[in-house]
Amino acid sequence: MSMTIEDCGRVRDGFPRPFPNTPSNVLEQMRLNGKVVVVTGAADGIGYAVSEAMAEAGANVALWYNSNDIAVQKAKDLAATHGIKASAYKVNVSVAEHVQSTVAKVVQEFGKIDVFIANAGMAISKPILEQTLDEYHKQMTVNVDGVVYYAKYAGEVFQRQGFGNLIITSSMSAHIVNVPVDQPVYNGCKAYITHFGKSLAREWREFARVNIVSPGFFDTKMGASPQTVQEAYRMSSVGRQGHVKEIKGLYLYLASDASTYMTGSDVLIDGGMDTTLCVISLQGRWEDIPMCLDLKGSDE
Ligand SMILES: NC(=O)c1ccc[n+]([C@@H]2O[C@H](COP(=O)([O-])OP(=O)(O)OC[C@H]3O[C@@H](n4cnc5c(N)ncnc54)[C@H](OP(=O)(O)O)[C@@H]3O)[C@@H](O)[C@H]2O)c1
């Protein structure tokens, strides 16, 4: 039974909580000097652009990579260019012990973790009837298990510290059934981590914030494939994929004190690609809507 208005009006101890002691100047809010940020999948693509954003804002950065050891040189370059501390760590995020030991190593070498950016991911984009169970497990271990392991081990650090900030790279594919390639496992992995992240935001409400970024197509190794890129251009309201420099500001906002009132949020950044709405709003091509909904030939 819901509460009465009188019950709801009862003053409760400890509320309202104080506003955060942060600068009022928005550019100062976005400075990350002295903060420690971990970025997974940091050698290239979205993860490297985000690492660069963190370093540009003054943070010390731990770049996690798996196979692309260019991350080692990129960490050195970031440190030299921005006068911050940056190191690269080789970690297979689908192995719990690697995640646990590397979280501990980062804390030992950097002293703390302010922000953990759970960005590593992979896709084997196929219909379920063509996908092997090995391919299914591989996607689950990186895209889902990896995020659960960060949550466990970085979450323990956040709880111990009394502060922390987890940002999860999900996907527009957590919101929509992406077209034209059928990839239910990848879509399902991303939907899992989006809802997992929202759930963590509540669980960790006393000590850490958790938010989700849901990108549309970005021009990286995991962006639209040659077979799908034309459709990616057509479906996007801006007629192209995103450049990774266009996502840096969003992660910086979420990592910084500019977003202290934001937790449990899922931010779409997809160039206006949202199954049907983009077609209606930008191009007004009503005849394309059945195709977007995969109802071609239907009168619905
Ligand atoms: N680009 C897009 O259109 C798009 C759209 C929506 C969501 N996303 C998401 O954005 C994130 C970044 O992708 P991206 O587009 O920047 O592509 P990317 O450059 O291929 O980045 C993926 C990263 O994940 C890392 N990774 C893969 N398996 C790993 C493992 N077992 N352990 C540790 N790291 C592993 C890779 O590391 P190594 O290279 O070192 O092996 C790579 O750096 C992913 O989560 C992806 O699902 C991308």
223 lines ligand 1 (CB under 6 A): yes
**pTM beyond 0.95:** no
CA distance 231 to 190: 21
pLDDT at 2: 87
CA distance 128 to 183: 7
From the list 50, 62, 64, 82, the residue with the least C-alpha distance to 246 is: 50
Q: How many CB atoms lie within 10 A of CB 174?
A: 22
Distance 288 CA to ligand 1 centre (A): 31
Query: Distance between alpha carbon 239 and the CA centroid of its chain, in Å?
Result: 23
pLDDT at 274: 65
pLDDT lower than 70: segments of the chain: 274-300
Q: Do 242 and 271 meet the contact criterion of CB atoms below 8 Å apart?
A: yes
**Which atom of ligand 1 lies nearest, measured to the CA of 215?**
6
Which residue lies with its CA nearest to atom 17 of ligand 1?
222
225 burial via Cβ count (<10 Å: 0-12, 13-18, 19+): exposed
Peptide bond into 226 cis (omega under 30): no
**Which atom of ligand 1 lies nearest, measured to the CA of 122?**
27
Q: How many CB atoms lie within 10 A of CB 22?
A: 12
46 lines ligand 1 (CB under 6 A): yes
Beta bridge partners of 210: 166
Distance 220 CA to ligand 1 centre (A): 9
Beta bridge partners of 86: 61
The predicted-structure confidence for 153-191, as pLDDT tens digits, reads as follows: 999 999 999 999 999 999 999 999 988 999 999 999 999
> Catalytic residue positions?
171, 186, 190
- Beta strands (DSSP E) in the chain are 36-40, 60-65, 86-90, 115-118, 165-169, 209-215, 266-269
